[in-house]
């Protein structure tokens, strides 16, 4: 176990140990698979090992989940909400430790790690209130003496497949809502961040034990894509919520649809900020730089493209170059640094390949990138954020590179030209426009405007707050998580008609006399 950066104390505080926690059903931890090694991109050291779940381990987990659902679904929703409230309190107690583990295992800044845990706390608070508002609808029947309404019931088992870049928050978005809806959850986290998942499982385990609740309400199965395949193919899993690449999402969607299951997909993004002549340049630079380099460009909402009007292009470009000169790259646990490492050396290869490709296609690097080496960069995962002048049709610009690479694109004429450039990619997650012109802002938000699931005015593309539904269109998958009425995806809808008379009239006036 690694002792650098005080992480050994963090692991102890969170009860994360080198143990067989590849599969876990609340209080029981068991696994017989191959070990998953967790290396920190911060310094390249091995933090710990977690055994992966075998098919037999998975079956034990599913048996516990099936059994737990029979009890959990009968608990009144406000009582389920109180369990989520208690979990939120555990997160508040361990916020600093869990935030530090997220930073060390994933590589994002400590502030972003804390922010991710705060997102978990926020969704718990949101879910607690929602537990008293799982409403249906009442409508008038065309038949006398009849009452008709709709209500929602729990789905059953929700499978959650999460990605490395948000190793804890996205799980909580799903599970907090699924729990208050009466579902139980089976979580397959990224094999690149298994310890964060074990830490969260340990915290909810404490809550379940303290309330004498079935252990299968929250289940964990660590491992590679093969474990994910067990979830997607399992007819006992009513909903599969998968976050990751578009390639992965298409595989999951096909498999789940083949058994007529439900899927919730949060996939790739190729997000753009439109900068009009009416933009506040200072605000633009802040939003664009954080969007492009925050989490080392490894957010699904990271800013990939900056579409700037020709009349202010040079001014914006120079301001960006000046801002990038101020960036500090290094250990993300040092709060003086702006940018931490990429997740692993494979991500570094994708980054360097993207820079080579944009130049090959005719682009120009105005802020050159490169891989950092030497003291403090021993992991080989640290890179310089780069900016490239490019054209919208470049293949690499159409592709999502999960790294701090920002493409500068020009547009002329009306704002609709910029909107068309923005929309002309396969992905449709997040978008933004910087303008003080009301007409430009409203055009951007209109039916002819952004085709993304998220469209912002005078803020960047990166980040989302609990309360609004999160998700995107096109190759982003169409899913919605977190706020608004996203809870409905975790439930099944049922229409009920009650006849309180002694007659049996049929709908549409059909006569059927005996």
Task: Say how far apart CA 111 and CA 417 lie, in whole Å.
Answer: 37
pLDDT tens for residues 58-88?
999 999 999 999 999 999 999 999 999 999 9
Q: Lowest mean pLDDT: which of 172-181, 289-298, 301-310, 501-510?
A: 501-510
> 247: part of which helix (H) or strand (E)?
helix 246-258
For the chain, the structural domain boundaries read 4-267+477-494, 271-466
Residue from 495, 449, 477 nearest 163 by CA:
477
Helix/strand number for the chain, H first, E second: 15, 23
Q: In this structure, which topology does domain 4-267+477-494 adopt according to CATH?
A: Aldehyde Dehydrogenase; Chain A, domain 1 (3.40.605)
Q: What percent of the chain has pLDDT over 90?
A: 90
Q: Quick one: average pLDDT of 478-493?
A: 97
Q: For residue 102, give the nearest of 51, 45, 42 by alpha carbon.
A: 42
Q: What is the mean pLDDT of residues 94-122?
A: 97
Dihedral sign, CA of 218, 224, 230, 232?
positive
Mapped onto helix, strand or coil, the DSSP state of residue 277 is coil
CA–CA separation, 168 and 357 (whole Å): 33
Which pLDDT does position 16 carry in this prediction?
Answer: 79
d(CA 157, CA 171): 14
User: Using alpha carbons only, what angle is made at residue 144 by residues 140 and 147, rounded to the nearest 5 degrees?
Assistant: 45
- Give the mean pLDDT of 347-363: 98
Q: How does residue 22 score in pLDDT terms, banded at 50, 70 and 90?
A: low
Q: What is the Cβ-side half-sphere exposure of residue 485, based on CA atoms within 13 angstroms?
A: 5
SS3 state at 353: helix
CATH architecture of 271-466: 3-Layer(aba) Sandwich (3.40)
Neighbours of 133 (CB within 10 A): 11
CA distance 448 to 450: 7
Q: How far apart are CA 429 and CA 432, in angstroms?
A: 11
Query: Do 340 and 296 touch, CB atoms closer than 8 A?
Result: yes
Q: What percentage of the chain carries pLDDT values higher than 70? A: 96
Cα 183 to Cα 96, 125, 178, 273, 384: the distances in Å are 29, 18, 5, 38, 44
CA dist 355 → 106, 405, 431 (Å): 23, 8, 23
pLDDT, one tens digit per residue, over 316-338 is: 999 999 999 999 999 999 999 99
- Supply φ then ψ for residue 399, to 5 degrees: -100, 145
Query: According to the model, what pLDDT value does residue 17 have?
Result: 63
- The region of weakest confidence among 11-20, 150-159, 435-444, 454-463 is 11-20
| CA gap 255, 144 in Å, rounded | 45
Place of tokens 């409403």: 135
Is the pLDDT confidence value at 437 over 90? Answer: yes
Give pLDDT, residue 484: 95
Average of per-residue pLDDT values in the chain = 95
Q: Is the pLDDT of residue 217 over 90?
A: yes
pLDDT surpassing 60 at residue 366 = yes
Cα–Cα distances (Å) from 313 to 309, 310, 389, 406, in that order, read 6, 5, 11, 15
Active-site positions read 266, 300
Residue 377 has pLDDT above 60, yes or no: yes
> How sure is the predictor about 1, in pLDDT bands with cuts at 50, 70 and 90?
very low
Instruction: Supply the DSSP symbol for 326.
Output: T
Task: For residues 407 and 323, give the distance between their C-alpha atoms in angstroms, rounded to a whole number.
Answer: 15
Tell me, what's the pLDDT at 80?
98
The answer to whether the beta carbons of residues 452 and 472 sit under 8 Å apart is yes
Could you tell me which residues come within 8 angstroms of residue 367 by beta carbon, excluding any fewer than 6 positions away?
320, 321, 324, 384, 385, 386, 387
Q: What is the pLDDT of residue 322?
A: 98
Averaged pLDDT for residues 429-447: 98
> Above 90 in pLDDT, residue 15?
no
pLDDT tens per residue across span 242-258: 999 999 999 999 999 99
Residue-by-residue DSSP string for 183-240:
-EEEEE--TTSHHHHHHHHHHHHHHHHHTT--GGGEEEE--SHHHHHHHHH-TTEEEE
Summarize pLDDT for 111-138 with one digit per residue, the tens: 999 999 999 999 999 999 999 999 999 9
* Terminal C-alpha separation, the chain: 79
pLDDT confidence of residue 509: 87
The answer on pLDDT for 31 being more than 80 is: no
pLDDT, average across residues 26-51: 86
Pair of tokens at residue 284: 């633009």
Which residues are 221's β-sheet partners? 23
Q: Which of 189, 181, 180 is nearest to 160 (CA)?
A: 189
Q: How many CA atoms lie within 13 A of 43 on its CB side?
A: 15
Total number of residues shown for the chain = 514
* 19 pLDDT more than 60: no
Close Cβ partners of 373 (under 8 Å, ≥ 6 residues apart): 380
Question: How many whole angstroms separate alpha carbon 241 and alpha carbon 58?
Answer: 18
């Amino acid at each position: 176990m690694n002792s650098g950066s005080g992480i050994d104390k963090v692991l102890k505080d969170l009860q994360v140990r080198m143990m067989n926690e590849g599969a876990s059903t609340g209080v029981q931890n068991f696994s017989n698979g191959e070990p998953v090694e967790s290396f920190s991109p911060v310094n390249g050291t091995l933090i710990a090992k977690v055994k992966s779940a075998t098919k037999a381990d998975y079956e034990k987990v599913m048996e516990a989940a099936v059994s737990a659902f029979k009890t959990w679904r009968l608990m009144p929703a406000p009582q389920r909400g109180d369990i989520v409230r208690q979990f939120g309190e555990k997160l508040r107690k361990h916020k600093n430790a869990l935030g530090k583990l997220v930073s060390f295992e994933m590589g994002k800044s400590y502030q972003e790690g804390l922010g991710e845990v705060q997102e978990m706390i926020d969704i718990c608070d949101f879910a607690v209130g929602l537990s008293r508002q799982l409403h249906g609808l009442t409508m008038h029947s065309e038949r006398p003496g009849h009452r008709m309404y709709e209500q929602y019931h729990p789905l059953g088992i929700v499978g959650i497949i999460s990605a490395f870049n948000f190793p804890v928050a996205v799980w909580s978005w799903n599970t907090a809502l699924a729990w208050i809806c009466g579902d139980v959850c089976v979580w397959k986290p990224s094999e690149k961040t298994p310890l964060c998942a074990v830490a969260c499982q340990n915290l909810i385990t404490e809550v379940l034990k303290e309330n004498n609740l079935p252990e299968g309400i929250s289940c964990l199965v660590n491992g590679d894509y093969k474990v994910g395949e067990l979830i997607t193919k399992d007819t006992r899993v009513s909903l599969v919520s998968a976050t990751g690449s578009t390639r992965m999402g298409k595989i999951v969607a096909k498999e789940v649809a083949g058994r007529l299951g439900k899927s919730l997909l949060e996939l790739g993004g190729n997000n753009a900020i439109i900068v009009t002549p009416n933009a506040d340049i200072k605000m633009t630079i802040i939003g664009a730089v954080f969007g492009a380099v925050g989490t080392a460009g490894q957010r699904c909402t990271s800013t990939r493209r900056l579409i700037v009007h020709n009349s202010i292009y040079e001014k914006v470009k120079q301001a960006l170059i000046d801002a990038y000169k101020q960036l500090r790259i290094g250990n993300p646990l040092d709060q003086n640094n702006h940018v931490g490492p990429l997740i692993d050396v494979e991500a570094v290869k994708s980054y360097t390949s993207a820079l080579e490709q944009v130049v090959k296609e005719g682009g120009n690097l105005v802020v050159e990138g490169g891989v950092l080496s030497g003291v403090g960069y021993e992991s080989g995962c640290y890179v310089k954020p780069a900016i490239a002048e490019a054209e919208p049709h470049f293949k690499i610009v159409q592709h999502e590179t999960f790294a701090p690479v920002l493409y500068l694109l020009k547009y002329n004429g009306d704002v609709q030209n910029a909107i068309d450039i923005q929309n002309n990619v396969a992905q449709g997650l997040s978008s933004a426009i910087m303008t003080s012109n009301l007409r430009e802002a409203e055009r951007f938000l209109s039916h002819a405007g952004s085709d993304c699931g998220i469209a912002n005015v005078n803020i960047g593309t990166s980040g989302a707050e609990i309360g609004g539904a999160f998700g995107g269109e096109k190759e982003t998958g169409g899913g919605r998580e977190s706020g608004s009425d996203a809870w409905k995806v975790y439930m099944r809808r049922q229409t009920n008609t009650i006849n309180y008379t002694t007659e049996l009239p049929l709908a549409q006036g059909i006569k059927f006399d005996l």
